[in-house]
Amino acid sequence: MGSAGVVLCTMAFMVLCLAAMAAASAALGGGGITYIPSTASLKHCPSSCGNINISYPFGIGAGCFRQGGFELTCNQTTEHPKLYLGSSTTQITDLYDASVEVNMFFNVTLESGTNTYDISWDAPARGITIDGNQNVFFVLGCDFDADLFDSVRKPIGSCMSRCHGEVIPNQGSCNGIGCCSISLQNDISGFQATIVRVDNMAAQPYPLHHGIMAFMSYGESYYIDNMTDVLSSWTNASNIPAPVLNVAIMDLPSCESAQLHSTSYACVNNSICANASYGGYTCSCDNGFYDNGFYIYDNAYVLEGCTPQQDYYHPKPKEHCQRLCGNNTIPFPFGLEEGCFGNQRFQLNCTKEDIDECSLPNYCNGACQNTVGSYICTPCPRSKEFDSTRRKCVASSKQRNLLLGISIGTSCGLGSIFIALGTAILANKWKKNIQKRIRQGYFKKNQGLLLEQLISDESTTSKTKIFSLEELEEATNNFDATRVVGCGGHGTVYKGILSDQRVVAIKKSKIVEQIEIDQFINEVVILSQIIHRNVVKLFGCCLEDEVPLLVYEFISNGTLYELLHLDTAVKCILSWDDRIRIAAEAAGALAYLHSAASIPIFHRDVKSSNILLDGNFTAKVSDFGASRSLSLDETHVVTIVQGTFGYLDPEYYHTGQLTEKSDVYSFGVILVELLTRKKPIFINDLGAKQSLSHYFVEALHKMSVMEIIDPQVIEEADQEEINEIISLTEACLRVKGVERPIMREVDMRLQFLRTKRLRKRQRLIEKDEDFEPWLCPNAKNPREHVNLFNDAHIKPEGSSGCYSLEQEFVSSFRPR
């Protein structure tokens, strides 16, 4: 047999198994039983829920209820336990043999501009119906038309209600003024109602009629207690007579068919079977029969649940009663067998010598019961035939063939299980091989071999690595959602823990164009060559997925933007010394990129949200997704304008020429943020949005720059230091790039100012003067800190994503 034949055979076996399991599941009925239980077998079942008694066929828990719609649920988490039909929200208020009373009301809040409201109810299980003879649908409210349909949208009836202005109708019966009703024609398994407000509703000048109440109620009439409630809100639901639901056994469609299956027939002896309107049947004890004391009411569903009452008179005997004892006729109400006499006192005993007709041939070809002076012959059931030798009904040849078929099917099913297990193991192995080939294909498509060769060059750092997809899946618990620390328009960032216990950030980008893979390779090679303590480290990448994954150094303490501008539960004041230090560290990193790196790199998106703070609050420049590299003989490059408003170099914006001075301008905006503690785009006193850089330059021209400086800076810094930073900031923000300083000069001026501050601090310490240089005033040491920010949810103004670290290389997949 070929491999295709084996696969087809295996699939056939598996289908067989699934069909068998489905049949078994259906037979079990989800915990319901299909036989007649005894009172002893039900003693473990809950007998009440709150103040409602529970009797079989209803029940709570497996083995306690009849299969079908008789399963109940008791919610005991509320102050008063509540009983429900199955797992539905239909609450039961009382319980009978095969019917329940439930709450079924709907409060409708009227909304401006909405005229039509729909409500509905569906039975939670087959066999549950609303009694059409005992229940009526009522709607309370003013100025509406109501239409009622059954569960398949077949019309049942309609009604209307009107109210006359602000005049409150008199309390009384439901007559179309403030209330209307619809009678049911037949039993229904559910209903849909449409309530339409009439046009004059919108013309009412008073704030009445803002609620409508619809409900199903027992009885043909409803008495309205308080019409003020009807007009102004909703009526009290506790006054509504609970509607009655009938619950039928749905194993078989009728009593006649159910009585042919003795093992699943639900009615006990001395009971009456009645066909239900929607199919199925119900049971009830015959007149004069009562329960055995375990349940409150007659129970025709439990063994010995209908026991004859001694003093009750039976007006009609059962059929086929023996009426002769020898030559004597026995008239009713006298009788010999149970059910053949009118009362226990009329029971007779015939002592004549009896002939057992059942032992004689040709008397009865069926189930024979000998009686005094006679016998009762019952034909064999449909599934059996009469064995004249054994004088009893035995399984028919058809039944024996069925049992043989079941045995063969069971054997076949067990065999199919073993085959299915073997097939599953082989399929799993085949799936792993397919995944391996797919990953190899992605690796080649993503230029993995070229990247391995490039980053293995001596000019790159030795720690740059190409990770396997298995390593990153293990590090992120298979990219579990709980590991997500950031998101953006181009992908998601996960926190991962590598096998060497390094905590990393793993960027999983969204699908990009194939032509951008080469740009990705170029960016990875560039970043692998950067060695600077103030630049976020790229550990490596993974090329075995459809889109390359990037692995970064994980930065834990958020961004400079968050520290400057966002209100947090823990207030942390940024001192003047720390502002100068952070600015100097960021400037040093940018100066390194511009002039000290092996290939000049222009960042192109310098902003405070791209300056991260690690565990020691050391500045780390991040987000090189928009950066561009140049050859040594190039001074600028023409690109599509890219960056963040508020930081964007106006010259670059108008000409498209990216130079190192573009980063200088953006850094100047950061210096203004540190001086003023204002956002790059902020709301001014007139309520309009304004650029911080323009705001600063205007203040310079008006000679009022000291008015916008952060009061903390004025308190901690001397005027000479403030003037030095203002002068440096003004130079960085000049409109013409040629007039701005280079990044190396900015770095040197900041380092010089920082050195002066450190010397001044040393002198103050030597003189025992108070000096508070720490980032957080409550810290016990210079680097004690608190993680103030939930970086997975912060998105600062002007930011292009959720968290700068998580956006590393997002923009690298955009056109240059």
811 confidence band (pLDDT: 50, 70, 90): very low
Q: Is the link from the previous residue into 379 a cis peptide, with omega within 30 of 0? A: no
- Alpha-carbon 476 to chain mean position: 22
DSSP helix/strand/coil, 483: helix
User: Residue 742 CB: number of other CB atoms within 10 A?
Assistant: 16
**Residues 623 and 647 sit within 8 Å (Cβ to Cβ):** no
Candidate from 95-99, 200-204, 578-582 with smallest mean pLDDT: 200-204
Q: Which tens digits make up the pLDDT trace of 789-799?
A: 333 333 334 43
Kindly tell me if the per-residue pLDDT of 545 is higher than 80: no
Contacts of 377 (CB under 8 A, 6+ apart): 363, 364, 365, 366, 367, 368, 369
Q: Calculate mean pLDDT across residues 311-339.
A: 80
| pLDDT at residue 808, as a whole number | 39
**Residues 329 and 323 sit within 8 Å (Cβ to Cβ):** yes
| pLDDT at residue 228, as a whole number | 57
Q: Which of 240, 284, 247 is nearest to 135 (CA)?
A: 240
Q: Calculate mean pLDDT across residues 801-807.
A: 36
Kindly tell me if the per-residue pLDDT of 401 is higher than 70: yes
| pLDDT at residue 145, as a whole number | 94
> Which comes out higher in pLDDT, residue 326 or 121?
121
Cα 778 from Cα 397, distance rounded (Å):
93
Q: Which residues belong to the active site?
A: 605
User: What are the backbone angles phi and psi of residue 534, rounded to the nearest 5°?
Assistant: -110, 20
Cα 609 from Cα 647, distance rounded (Å):
11
Cα 210 from Cα 203, distance rounded (Å):
13
Q: Calculate mean pLDDT across residues 360-383.
A: 76
| pLDDT at residue 457, as a whole number | 53
Structure tokens given for 26: 């259906």
Q: Which of 107, 111, 96 is nearest to 53 (CA)?
A: 96
User: Residue 296 CB: number of other CB atoms within 10 A?
Assistant: 12
Q: Calculate mean pLDDT across residues 630-637.
A: 53
**Residues 263 and 284 sit within 8 Å (Cβ to Cβ):** no
Quote the Cα angle for 445-451-454, to 5°: 155
Q: Calculate mean pLDDT across residues 457-471.
A: 68
Structure tokens given for 657: 């020429």
User: What are the backbone angles phi and psi of residue 669, rounded to the nearest 5°?
Assistant: -65, -40
Kindly tell me if the per-residue pLDDT of 450 is higher than 90: no
Structure tokens given for 211: 């609620």
DSSP helix/strand/coil, 679: coil
Contacts of 144 (CB under 8 A, 6+ apart): 160, 161, 195, 196, 197, 198, 201, 212
With a pLDDT cut of 90, the percent of the chain lying above it is: 37
CA dist 528 → 151, 448, 550, 597, 722 (Å): 68, 15, 12, 11, 38
Contacts of 445 (CB under 8 A, 6+ apart): 514, 517
| pLDDT at residue 650, as a whole number | 93
pLDDT, mean over the chain? 78
Q: Calculate mean pLDDT across residues 695-700.
A: 94
For every residue of 177-219, DSSP letters joined together read BSEEEEE-SS-BSEEEEEEEE-GGGTT--SS---EEEEEEEES
Determine the straight-line distance between the first and last CA of the chain, rounded to whole angstroms: 59
Q: Is the link from the previous residue into 57 a cis peptide, with omega within 30 of 0? A: yes
Q: Which tens digits make up the pLDDT trace of 755-791?
A: 998 888 888 777 765 555 444 444 434 334 433 333 3
Q: Which tens digits make up the pLDDT trace of 80-105?
A: 999 999 999 999 999 988 899 999 98
Query: Checking DSSP bridges between strand 223-224 and strand 172-173, what pairing results, if any?
Result: antiparallel
**Residues 561 and 608 sit within 8 Å (Cβ to Cβ):** yes
Which H helix or E strand runs over 503?
A: strand 503-509
Taking the alpha carbons of 769, 724, 729, 611 in that order, is the dihedral positive or negative? negative
User: What are the backbone angles phi and psi of residue 575, rounded to the nearest 5°?
Assistant: -75, 165
Q: Which of 394, 385, 350 is nearest to 370 (CA)?
A: 350
Q: In the 8-state DSSP scheme, what is residue 572?
A: -
Burial 743-776 (b: 16+ CB within 10 A, else e): bbbbbbbbeebbeebeeeeeeeeeeeeebebbbb
> Which comes out higher in pLDDT, residue 603 or 516?
603
| pLDDT at residue 109, as a whole number | 86
Structure tokens given for 679: 């956002």
Cα 351 from Cα 326, distance rounded (Å):
9
Candidate from 164-173, 407-416, 648-657, 733-742 with smallest mean pLDDT: 164-173
Count of residues making up the chain: 816
Which H helix or E strand runs over 284?
A: strand 281-285
- Alpha-carbon 246 to chain mean position: 34
Q: Calculate mean pLDDT across residues 7-30.
A: 44
Cα 29 from Cα 25, distance rounded (Å):
6
689 is in an annotated binding site: no
Contacts of 427 (CB under 8 A, 6+ apart): none
809 confidence band (pLDDT: 50, 70, 90): very low
Candidate from 177-181, 206-210, 368-372, 747-751 with smallest mean pLDDT: 206-210
At residue 45, what is the residue type?
C
Q: Calculate mean pLDDT across residues 371-378.
A: 76
Q: Which of 103, 95, 102 is nearest to 70 (CA)?
A: 95
| pLDDT at residue 59, as a whole number | 96
In order of start, what are the domains of the chain with their CATH numbers? 105-247 (2.60.120), 312-352 (no CATH), 355-395 (2.10.25), 445-553 (3.30.200.20)
Cα 168 from Cα 232, distance rounded (Å):
10
| pLDDT at residue 555, as a whole number | 87
| pLDDT at residue 785, as a whole number | 40
For every residue of 584-640, DSSP letters joined together read HHHHHHHHIIIIISSS-EE-S---GGGEEE-TT--EEE---TT-EE--TT-SEEE--
At residue 697, what is the residue type?
V
Scanning the structure block, which residue is given the tokens 């349940």? 295
Q: Which of 136, 141, 81 is nearest to 104 (CA)?
A: 136
Scanning the structure block, which residue is given the tokens 């000069």? 745
Kindly tell me if the per-residue pLDDT of 729 is higher than 50: yes
DSSP helix/strand/coil, 318: coil
Q: Which of 256, 298, 301 is nearest to 279 (CA)?
A: 256
| pLDDT at residue 377, as a whole number | 83
